[in-house]
Structure 1
Amino acid sequence: MPHTKDELPDVLYSAAQVRALDSSLIAAGTPGFELMQRAAYATWRALVRRWPAANELSVLTGHGNNAGDGYLVAVLARRAGWTVRVLAVGDPSRLQGDAALAHAEAVSENVSIVSWTTQSELRGVVLDALLGTGLSGDVRQPYAQAIAAINASGLPVVAVDIPSGLCADTGRILGHAVRADLTVTFIGLKLGLFTGEAADVVGQLMFNDLQADPELLSQAASVAARLSAGNLPRLACRPPAAHKGKFGHVLLIGGDRGFGGAILLSAQSALRSGAGMVSLATRPEHVPAALARIPEAMVLGTSSANQLMGLLEKVSVLVVGPGLGQAAWGRSLLSAAANAPLPQVWDADALNLLASEHVSLPGDCVITPHPGEAARLLGISTAEVQANRPAAARALSEKYTAVVVLKGAGSLIAHPDGRLSVCHQGHPAMATAGLGDVLAGLIGALLAQGMKAFDAACLAVWLHANAGAQQGKFGRGLAASDLIPAIRQLLEEQAPCLK
């Protein structure tokens, strides 16, 4: 799994913002070549810690500052007695400024520097110093061939600043990308390291601020925040005289014929996440199963939207969509919900019906699309959503004036006011049905307990992802319901019920 050490800052930047920070550090008196030396030393130190028995290094360089870092790491390795060879994919004569100085230092240290060809042999640890954060278009030759050779080598790989070919702003692979085991990044964390396809190529992420002035960093503009245990919104403790009426009444609506399990998962999640009361409106034939599985819930067998009207006046939060279907039954129930002046969570088929313009989204809503649903809501392709997940999340939030959870690797939470958070935790075992239903119920429960929509979404996504990571350690076969007790435990650790 990527990002195994959570010793990272919470603030995330665009590539342009990090370049501006770099320029600010230089303007404040730190020479650019000194920053490059610090980056090289940080990379070398991380490399040696990760592979302490290694003694051979293959460095692949381009012709930008990323290459300069690579040449200086090669110098450090040679001084340490390693066998070192630089394979120059970019012409060293094109190097400028600090990168040219780094190349000159490698030459003066008698580092072996040869031109890379498709026949070049890679040995030992491979250092990716090919392409940095300035890459915008797809990777071209000969870099694509060099990246393919690195990935086919089977050798341990460390990337300098960012795996070559990964977009620093979006997390999209630009045609080809190095699959690193370790990425050492500098000055400021880039958003693209935490969402989209980044999880497949970043490996373990290590960060070094290169001794940047903390005050300078604190004043810099950023694009997003990384959710971590230290910066999560928190539920307040409960007073000893608490009663169920103080913690909300969640009504969950869904479960058409053939989809009854989805709304039960949501209801069970809402109940176990602290909602004071839970009601469930579903098809009459699902009532026995609901009562057997969740006897604590109040279950209403619902054949038409008219049966909801009295209940809608008694509840405080709605969760609509899991198993709802897109037939007449689901459409009528969704229309009733849309007219209720209550905080709401819309998921699954509620979003598909919203995309078809069958209904309008009420205010004070959280919507939780996966990339396919997001594409339908925006009228674009799923590939376009995945190509720029941060932009898609923001566009949805603006279009619907709602808090948006764009699910997937590196889930994003966007607020209409421009706030954006990313949750990079999780586990590939979570690639299974029903997890979105659990998340929807969890958000509903947090809303019912008084959290604001953006805070509830952020906390819920983090709890959900970390419960998945915890349960994913047991391997394949994770069931959505496995997350519910783990979420309850994590929530108690983060926000104890009693002081």
Structure 2
Amino acid sequence: MEKAYSIQSIQNYEATVLEKHAPEALLDAASTALHAVCKQEIAINQKVLLICGTGHNGADGLLLAVKLSNDGYSTAIVLVETGRALKPLTSDAADIARKAGIPFVGLEALDHTDVIIDGLLGIGFSGTLDGSTRHAIECINQSKASTLSIDVPSGLCADTGCVQEVAVAANKTLCVLGGKRGLYTHNAFDATGEIIHADIDMQSMPPMPDADVHVVTTRDLLPSCGAQAQSVHKGDFGKVLVIGGAQGLEGSVLLAAQAAARCGVGHVIICTPNNSSYINKSPDFTSIEYHEIDEFVKSHRNLCIILGPGLGSDPWAESVLSAVLSVDCAKVIDAGALRVLNTLKYNQLSNAILTPHPGEAAALLDTTADAVNQDRYAATDAIQSRYGAISLLKGAGTIIHPPGRMPYVIHESCPEIAVAGAGDVLCGLIAAYVALGETPETATVQGALLHVGVGQAIRDQMNGRGMMASDIIEAIPGFKNNIPIDYKKINNHRNDE
């Protein structure tokens, strides 16, 4: 598990460092850290073009050019004129580069370079680009050369992961002073490439501050529980109750129920407006009526409720939502239940996990999906604060914010699972982890990691889109138990049913 920081935290830390060190010393240490990484990433016979802006990110690039040149690299510099004066440190760095004999060239040099180092904009950037910088970014992206960005791809907001206009599409991003939280979500997946940490080595450096975000990947998945005692029974593996299934949306309930079962839950129960039709379709599950929910919860331990897959907006939906919110039991609330939740103006929920996509999050916050994606961290925090629940915001770089705890960002993406029903599968996985004994916080993180991990494994065999939610379900047991996924076998199994 890695750590990431808000820009405010990084700027506060830099101010602390500068209480003991001169700005020139910090700048030199940063360029030295970048230099060490670049020597590992760039072959000595490759031509290197450093494209620098007027700020301190540009100063890092200018001093890095000098260090690479001293090592024998063929280096050149593009200093992008924006109409703004160079910052004093950047002006000094440019003088050092000129005295070192490094040529200053135009963007046409992109046609004759092997590696681009992007030092245009730093972590303080947000808002709109000036014309010269935008043109430079577009030229970088049109080049066939490999691109390394210093700290953040220029044009990407390092705090939110949002691109307003255009950003450098880097092959690798070299982070100084820790990872910035915007590098792990939303548009960052199309901009950062591989993230490499360039650690500064200075005497008397204060320790880094507490992180603002946990960065998790599929490497953080908990291991499978392995062999079981022979004397176990289904009650030892928890229960999941799935509630939803309006007419025409019956498949959503089955997807959530099947996902929970495939994740290892011992008993899955459904509750819909028309239970009999479900039991005929899937004899693996039992059913109850919504007026039985209270007594059912009181008489069963290790239970998690899923409310929302295929849920309508009718009186039955409102009644069942009220019934579920009144019981003392962990609950995953998604899809239709989120709409009803907002309509009835519920807040400060007990023992709940909300799993909206940006459109549903917008409804919960009375805003727009675009506004949610402008700052996914702020939106997730706002949902958590308003509803008192664990908030999971779906999308590339899913964000999870438990009450009173540090948020998590999942630094994984699988656009191939952006299909109907995949959210229902996610609910089933989260609920399964709760029923199997994990805390709601751990269950939410693990369910989301398993969801994307299985999707990636199937994608790697399919080599493209075409995945269905049911593919994820069939592949869950093999993935959890480290068995290679055989997509052809999954399809054959479905065709035999």
Q: Which band: TM-score by shorter chain?
A: 0.7 to 0.9
| Equivalent in 225, 231, 235 of residue 214 of structure 2 | 225
Letter in 2 for 1:157: T
Check 1:249–1:135 CA distance in 2 against 1; reply closer, same or farther (3 A cut): same
Q: How does 1:407-486 map to 2 (within 5 A)?
A: 407-473=394-460, 474=462, 475-486=464-475
Letter in 1 for 2:64: V
C-alpha offsets along residues 351-407 of structure 1, whole Å, 9 cap, x if unaligned? 011111265674100010000000000001111110110011011001000001111
C-alpha offsets along residues 409-434 of structure 1, whole Å, 9 cap, x if unaligned? 11011012142011011222122121
Question: Do structure 1's residue 45 and structure 2's residue 33 form an aligned pair?
Answer: no
Q: Compute the TM-score of the two structures, normalised by the length of structure 2.
A: 0.86
In structure 2, distance between residues paired with 1:212 and 1:392: 37
| Equivalent in 324, 348, 358 of residue 335 of structure 2 | 348
Q: 2:349 touches 2:388 (CA, 8 Å); kept in 1?
A: no
C-alpha offsets along residues 120-159 of structure 1, whole Å, 9 cap, x if unaligned? 7543222211000011322222211211222233432221
Q: How does 1:3-402 map to 2 (within 5 A)?
A: 10-25=2-17, 27=19, 31-48=25-42, 52=43, 55-79=46-70, 81-90=72-81, 94-96=85-87, 98-114=89-105, 121-124=110-113, 125-211=115-201, 216-217=206-207, 220-228=209-217, 240=229, 241-282=231-272, 283-284=274-275, 286-288=277-279, 290-291=281-282, 295-300=283-288, 305-306=290-291, 308=293, 310-315=295-300, 316-357=303-344, 362-402=349-389
In structure 2, distance between residues paired with 1:345 and 1:154: 46
In structure 2, distance between residues paired with 1:383 and 1:443: 27
C-alpha offsets along residues 310-337 of structure 1, whole Å, 9 cap, x if unaligned? 5444442210101112233333332322
In structure 1, distance between residues paired with 2:269 and 2:223: 25
In structure 2, distance between residues paired with 1:211 and 1:187: 10
In structure 1, distance between residues paired with 2:195 and 2:406: 24
Number of aligned residue pairs: give it: 474
In structure 2, distance between residues paired with 1:399 and 1:234: 34
Q: 1:338 touches 1:360 (CA, 8 Å); kept in 2?
A: no
1:491 offset after TM fit, Å? 3.9
Letter in 2 for 1:148: E
Q: 2:149 touches 2:174 (CA, 8 Å); kept in 1?
A: yes
Check 1:399–1:361 CA distance in 2 against 1; reply closer, same or farther (3 A cut): closer
Letter in 1 for 2:446: L
In structure 1, distance between residues paired with 2:398 and 2:254: 24
Counterpart in the other structure of 1:5: none
C-alpha offsets along residues 437-457 of structure 1, whole Å, 9 cap, x if unaligned? 111011111111222211111
Q: 1:338 touches 1:359 (CA, 8 Å); kept in 2?
A: no
C-alpha offsets along residues 167-222 of structure 1, whole Å, 9 cap, x if unaligned? 1111111322111121111121110000111101111211122236899445x132
1:54 offset after TM fit, Å? 6.2
Any stretches of 5+ residues in structure 1 without a counterpart?
1-8, 495-499
Q: Percent identity?
A: 31
Q: Secondary structure at the match of 1:386?
A: helix
Check 1:213–1:390 CA distance in 2 against 1; reply closer, same or farther (3 A cut): farther
Check 1:53–1:77 CA distance in 2 against 1; reply closer, same or farther (3 A cut): closer
Deviates more, 1:484-493 or 1:351-360: 484-493
Q: Secondary structure at the match of 1:86?
A: strand
Q: 2:217 touches 2:412 (CA, 8 Å); kept in 1?
A: no
Q: Secondary structure at the match of 1:324?
A: coil
Q: Secondary structure at the match of 1:112?
A: coil
In structure 2, distance between residues paired with 1:459 and 1:309: 28
Q: 2:218 touches 2:453 (CA, 8 Å); kept in 1?
A: no
C-alpha offsets along residues 232-257 of structure 1, whole Å, 9 cap, x if unaligned? 67787787244322332111011111
Check 1:93–1:145 CA distance in 2 against 1; reply closer, same or farther (3 A cut): closer
Letter in 1 for 2:12: A
In structure 2, distance between residues paired with 1:270 and 1:195: 27
Deviates more, 1:143-152 or 1:372-381: 143-152
Deviates more, 1:156-165 or 1:28-37: 28-37
Check 1:250–1:212 CA distance in 2 against 1; reply closer, same or farther (3 A cut): farther
Counterpart in the other structure of 2:486: none
Q: 1:63 touches 1:94 (CA, 8 Å); kept in 2?
A: yes
Check 1:341–1:248 CA distance in 2 against 1; reply closer, same or farther (3 A cut): same
Any stretches of 5+ residues in structure 2 without a counterpart?
484-497
Check 1:362–1:37 CA distance in 2 against 1; reply closer, same or farther (3 A cut): closer
In structure 2, distance between residues paired with 1:150 and 1:360: 48
Q: 2:246 touches 2:310 (CA, 8 Å); kept in 1?
A: yes
